[in-house]
Amino acid sequence: FFNECMERGAKLVVIIPEYGPPAAKADYWIPVRPGTDAALFLSITRLLMDEKLYDADFVKQFTDFPLLVRTDNLKRLKAHEVFPGYRNQDISTGPSYKVQGLTPEQREQVGDFVVWDQRSGGLKAITRDDVGRNLAQKGVDPALEGTYKVRTVDGKEVEVVPLFEMYKVHLRDYDLDTVEQITHAPKDLVRRLARDIATIKPVAIHHGEGINHWFHATEMNRAAYLPIMLTGNIGQPGAGCHTWAGNY
């Protein structure tokens, strides 16, 4: 597939410690210290957010970034916590039940989530099935940024933020200068990759055992997914974040 990508004009970027055969045939090579891939992709994620290079419509409709999180306990805000007498919406005919096999017991445990609707300037309850066109049909435009004060049904005032906003706080530690020190990856190449991910469609990230057989592999895989999520490169031919095993 590497050769076919070259033949079809794809841009190839190789991120490995050593300058090996794949790097020699790539458009550019980013050297990285072993075990620091997560920091590299978190820096790319920060650049996409700071420079607003993300696909806002996709992020709002297909990710959990808009969901509100309580800052007092760091848990997602649930609809029954802020809407008196709230009962979970009926999604028994939707994909959660029909495709994913959600059970009534799991439905009660998951509950419904809450976003800050920019159109009404207030809270809106959404279900796990309110993605894509379903969310658009509800007329909800969830905020990705900001801090809000809400009152719970028990009379307590709590601060809530979208998950997107929480990532911005977490990613403050991953500026280009710091990440260059951590990874040894030249910051001009990190910025170049971030802008390529933001402007080229489709984009795919392929990684293998060099990441997955070491400590903190889960965090590294999650970090690699973030730029793909932000740019809408999920569910499209040629896009995605893929794991390889074997001689790769």
Question: Residue 248: its pLDDT value, please?
Answer: 47
Question: Residue 35: its pLDDT value, please?
Answer: 86
Distance CA(216)–CA(229), nearest Å, equals 20
pTM of the model: 0.91
Supply 165's token pair: 């906003």
Distance CA(165)–CA(118), nearest Å, equals 15
* 245, burial (CB in 10 Å: exposed 0-12, middle 13-18, buried 19+): exposed
Coil, strand or helix at 97: helix
One pLDDT digit (tens) per residue for the chain, 248 residues = 888 989 999 999 999 999 999 999 999 999 999 889 999 999 999 999 999 999 999 999 999 999 999 999 999 999 999 999 999 999 999 999 999 999 999 999 999 999 999 999 999 999 999 999 999 899 999 999 999 999 999 999 999 999 999 999 999 999 999 999 999 999 999 999 999 999 999 999 998 877 777 778 888 999 999 999 999 999 999 999 998 876 54
Any bridge partners for residue 29, and if so which? Answer: 14
Supply 235's token pair: 């569910």
Coil, strand or helix at 160: strand
- Angle of CA points 114, 116, 120, to nearest 5°: 120
Q: Three-state SS string across 45-86, please?
A: HHHHHHCCCCCHHHHHHHCCCCCEEECCCCCECEHHHHCCCC
The helix (H) or strand (E) run that includes residue 166 is helix 163-170
